[in-house]
């Protein structure tokens, strides 16, 4: 476990060493927060109810778009090593294959979650600051915030699996992005059902979690074969 945590810390240092790499994935959350700020502080919609409906939609969109930073990170995790011809060197380290695999996964997972939760926290604080918070809205915020780490987990798992079976970072990223777009349209299309039906919401969360486990298991079986 300690070896996996060491690898995860190393991966995180590499990510934050080049913050420009994350800039394209921060633009969309910043735009959503800007739209939220405009709706709250300038109140173009007029009523509190309409402002909260917009806020709920923006929180859910952020729950989907913030985890998108897992796509390039996951795609580069193994396909990038193959492109740079460093995968064989990496596997020669005195570290178990399981620790190496999970260390790289844990190194990419916190970034999309932190981006999503930070943005959602700021958006919720705006509503509280202007007195827009209404009874029951906390549950909507909780649902959006719970979806963030689950979606990030799924995209990390899928991107890792595709990174192992792809020969290039671009190929892995493109395939993962297609799946992410499908999820985005599904979530935005059925957003009202997610908030009004706990059964549908929990079913979607459960399906994503099960798919994440399946992708991780497939990726873990694939990884030793690259030795």
Q: What is the pLDDT of residue 227?
A: 47
Query: Which residues fall within 8 angstroms of residue 226, CB to CB, at 6 or more apart?
Result: 78, 87, 91, 164
Q: Nearest CA to 73 among 44, 119, 35, 113? A: 113
Tens digits of per-residue pLDDT, 55-110? 888 898 899 888 887 777 777 777 777 777 776 666 676 777 777 788 888 888 88
pTM: 0.86
Q: If you search the block for the tokens 């079913």, which residue do you land on?
A: 203
141 vs 189, residue with greater confidence: 141
Q: If you search the block for the tokens 């074969």, which residue do you land on?
A: 225
CA 35 from centre of chain: 21
Q: What are the backbone angles phi and psi of residue 94, rounded to the nearest 5°?
A: -75, 60
Residue 3: CB atoms within 10 A of its CB come to 16
Q: Nearest CA to 25 among 71, 60, 79? A: 71
Domain ranges in the chain? 2-226
Q: What are the backbone angles phi and psi of residue 173, rounded to the nearest 5°?
A: -65, -40
Query: Which residues fall within 8 angstroms of residue 127, CB to CB, at 6 or more apart?
Result: 40, 51, 52, 55, 133, 137
| 201-204, long-range: CB < 8 A, 24+ apart | 201/143
Quote the mean pLDDT of the chain.
Answer: 82
The count of C-alpha atoms lying within 13 angstroms of the C-alpha of 186, restricted to the half-sphere facing its C-beta, is 12
């Amino acid at each position: 476990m300690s070896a996996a945590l060491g690898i995860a810390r190393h991966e995180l240092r590499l990510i934050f060493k080049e913050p420009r790499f994350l800039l394209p994935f921060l633009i969309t959350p910043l735009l959503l927060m800007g739209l939220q700020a405009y709706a709250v502080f300038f109140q173009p919609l007029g009523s509190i109810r309409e402002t909260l409906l917009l806020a709920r939609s923006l929180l859910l969109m952020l729950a989907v778009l913030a985890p998108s930073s897992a796509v390039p990170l996951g795609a580069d995790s193994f396909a990038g090593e193959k492109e740079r011809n460093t995968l064989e060197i990496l596997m020669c380290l005195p570290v178990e294959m399981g620790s190496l695999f999970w260390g790289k996964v844990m190194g990419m997972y916190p970034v999309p979650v932190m981006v999503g939760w930070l943005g959602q926290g700021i958006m919720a604080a705006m509503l509280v600051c202007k007195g827009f918070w209404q009874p029951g809205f906390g549950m909507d915020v909780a649902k959006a915030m719970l979806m963030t780490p689950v979606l990030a987990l799924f995209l990390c798992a899928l991107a890792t699996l595709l990174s192992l079976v792809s020969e290039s970072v671009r190929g892995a990223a493109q395939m993962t992005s297609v799946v992410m777009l499908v999820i985005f349209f599904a979530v935005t299309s059925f957003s009202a059902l997610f908030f009004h039906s706990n059964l549908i919401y929990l079913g979607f969360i459960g399906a994503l979690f099960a798919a994440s486990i399946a992708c991780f298991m497939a990726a873990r079986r694939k990884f030793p074969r690259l030795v």
